[in-house]
């Protein structure tokens, strides 16, 4: 009897093991097919089919891990759990930003207790990346730190390079631009030694965005240009689109709006082809803002409303806040300052909720501009006094200089021409100043020069940091 029971248990185990082999085979085939798809055509919709097979693999592994029989649990359980964790991580690293990654991150968190140490390190690093997107910065850095520690312990140079890239991106998203650049350059150097051109292109894009945000436009253009060339050589369409967006931002900063629109349209075409909804929303936001700068307010509103709907549909609060802020810019340009203030306030509150420091500074700047346009210079000064410390703290000089130009307008309209002149000179001459800030400063200078006794050469020098003392 005992022998018969043993034979039955052993037979069940072999059947379960056979099912595991089948599930693992589906997973392996799917994984390699997915990687070929990624490298050959840049995450096109064909990856959707691969995702379905991966999910089937996960469900098959999950079913096996719940099978009855002590011999199955003991002999096959660890093997099944390991395979389940592998399935989850390969689904996890897919670049589909679905519903703020919440289903994916839940799978990743669920896999952590099951994963062996090397796989745990990978999961933690990628989970940290997703937590940044969800606005949970403190947990994100905890995951990244632990994942990096495991990678260093195992001397896994590729995982160290990836962890540095994720860390840099997290620092950028939370506003530490200087440290983001340092860590990003460390990641770039390591990827170059590993001769991984695909990853080099990804990190070049990230560094291009970081340096653009800090006002180093020549370096940003160089890195983004190199990324664009590499991405096209590798057939990496998604990274090509991201490089095009970054180059559009640089063109915007120099006032070349037509060139910026060309870059954004090219990127939008690629993003729509791949159905990457989050990036479609990003492109539409940039197109809308640039259309405002061109004076094309109705097309701008259309772009931004579509972007807002995309971000709301998928629950991405940071994207929704960005769309609302840009819709406020449209309302202000059309003279509806009450509507603009309402939109800016909504945007600011959302950005505070998701710890979007960079975005919060933009909203405060727009609130200052809006109050100034209404003639409420005391309120404008309050907004600028509240907002200016943020870009100075995170070294986002273009935003700081945009605010400084606004403060100059406040001074000019409150009978403080000498102070206004100092800030005008600072804005015009600073290399990180955007075209829009310089244009405002030039208009203010023209108004001063019409009074006859004020010239740019007579301006009292002042540093960016000293402006805070002038408005407190």
pLDDT score of 28 = 39
| Distance, C-alpha 181 to centroid of its chain | 14
pLDDT score of 91 = 38
- Mean residue pLDDT of the chain comes to 80
Measure the CA–CA gap between 420 and 189, rounded to whole angstroms.
44
Q: To which residue do tokens 């309302």 refer?
A: 331
Q: To which residue do tokens 């075409």 refer?
A: 269
pLDDT score of 24 = 43
196-266 has which fold?
1.25.40
H or E stretch covering 175: none
Q: For the segment 159-209, what is each residue's pLDDT rounded down to a tens digit? A: 999 999 999 988 888 888 999 999 999 999 999 999 999 999 999 999 999
Measure the CA–CA gap between 197 and 247, rounded to whole angstroms.
20
Measure the CA–CA gap between 168 and 340, rounded to whole angstroms.
34
Tell me the domain boundaries of the chain: 13-94, 196-266
On the question of pLDDT at 235 being above 90, the answer is yes
Residues of the chain above pLDDT 70, percent: 75
Measure the CA–CA gap between 375 and 369, rounded to whole angstroms.
10
Q: For the segment 444-466, what is each residue's pLDDT rounded down to a tens digit? A: 999 998 877 788 888 899 999 89
Q: For the segment 109-126, what is each residue's pLDDT rounded down to a tens digit? A: 666 666 777 788 888 888
Measure the CA–CA gap between 430 and 421, rounded to whole angstroms.
14
On the question of pLDDT at 34 being above 80, the answer is no
- Positive or negative, the CA dihedral 348, 365, 386, 464 is positive
Measure the CA–CA gap between 458 and 439, rounded to whole angstroms.
20
- Whether the Cβ atoms of residue 398 and residue 253 lie closer than 8 Å to each other: yes
Query: Helix crossing, 217-234 with 197-214: angle to 10°?
Result: 160
H or E stretch covering 230: helix 217-234
């Amino acid at each position: 009897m005992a022998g018969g029971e043993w034979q039955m248990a052993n037979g069940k185990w072999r059947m379960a093991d056979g099912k595991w082999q089948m599930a693992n085979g589906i997973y392996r085939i799917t994984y390699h097919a997915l990687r070929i798809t990624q490298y050959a055509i840049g995450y096109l919709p064909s990856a959707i089919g691969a995702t379905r097979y991966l999910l089937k693999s996960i469900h098959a592994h999950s079913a096996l891990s719940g099978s009855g029989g002590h011999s199955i649990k003991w002999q096959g359980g660890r093997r099944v759990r390991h395979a389940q964790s592998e399935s989850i991580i390969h689904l996890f690293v897919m670049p589909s930003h679905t519903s703020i990654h919440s289903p994916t991150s839940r799978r990743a968190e669920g896999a952590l207790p099951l994963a062996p140490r090397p796989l745990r390190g990978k999961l933690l690093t990628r989970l940290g990346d997703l937590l940044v997107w969800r606005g949970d910065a403190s947990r994100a850095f905890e995951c990244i730190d632990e994942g990096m520690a495991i990678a260093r312990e195992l001397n896994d140079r590729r995982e160290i390079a990836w962890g540095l890239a994720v860390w840099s991106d997290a620092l950028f998203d939370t506003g530490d631009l200087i440290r983001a650049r340092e860590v990003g350059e460390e990641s770039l150097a390591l990827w170059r030694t590993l001769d991984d051109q695909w990853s080099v292109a990804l990190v070049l894009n990230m560094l291009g965005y970081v340096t653009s945000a800090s006002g180093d436009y020549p370096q940003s253009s160089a890195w983004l240009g190199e990324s664009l060339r590499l991405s096209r050589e590798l057939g990496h369409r998604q990274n090509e689109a991201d490089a095009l967006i970054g180059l559009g931002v640089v063109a915007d900063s120099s006032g070349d709006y037509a060139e910026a629109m060309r870059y954004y349209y090219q990127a939008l075409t690629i993003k729509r082809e791949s159905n990457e909804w989050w990036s479609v929303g990003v492109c539409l936001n940039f197109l809308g803002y640039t259309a405002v700068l061109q004076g094309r307010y109705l097309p701008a509103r259309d772009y931004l409303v579509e972007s807002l709907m995309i971000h709301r549909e998928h629950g991405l609060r940071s994207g929704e806040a960005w769309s609302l802020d840009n819709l406020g810019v449209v309302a202000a340009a059309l003279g509806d300052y009450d509507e603009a203030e309402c939109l800016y306030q909504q945007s600011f509150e959302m950005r505070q909720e998701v710890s979007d420091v960079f975005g919060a500074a933009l909203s405060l700047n727009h609130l200052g501009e809006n109050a100034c346009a209404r003639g409420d210079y005391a309120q404008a000064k309050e907004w600028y006094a509240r907002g200016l410390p943020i870009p100075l703290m995170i070294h986002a000089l273009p935003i700081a200089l945009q605010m400084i130009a606004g403060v100059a307008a406040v001074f000019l309209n409150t009978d403080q021409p000498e102070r206004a002149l100092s800030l005008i000179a600072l804005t015009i001459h600073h290399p990180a100043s955007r075209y829009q800030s310089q244009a405002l400063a030039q208009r203010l200078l023209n108004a001063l020069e019409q009074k006859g006794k004020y010239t740019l050469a007579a301006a009292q020098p002042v540093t960016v940091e000293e402006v805070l003392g002038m408005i407190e």
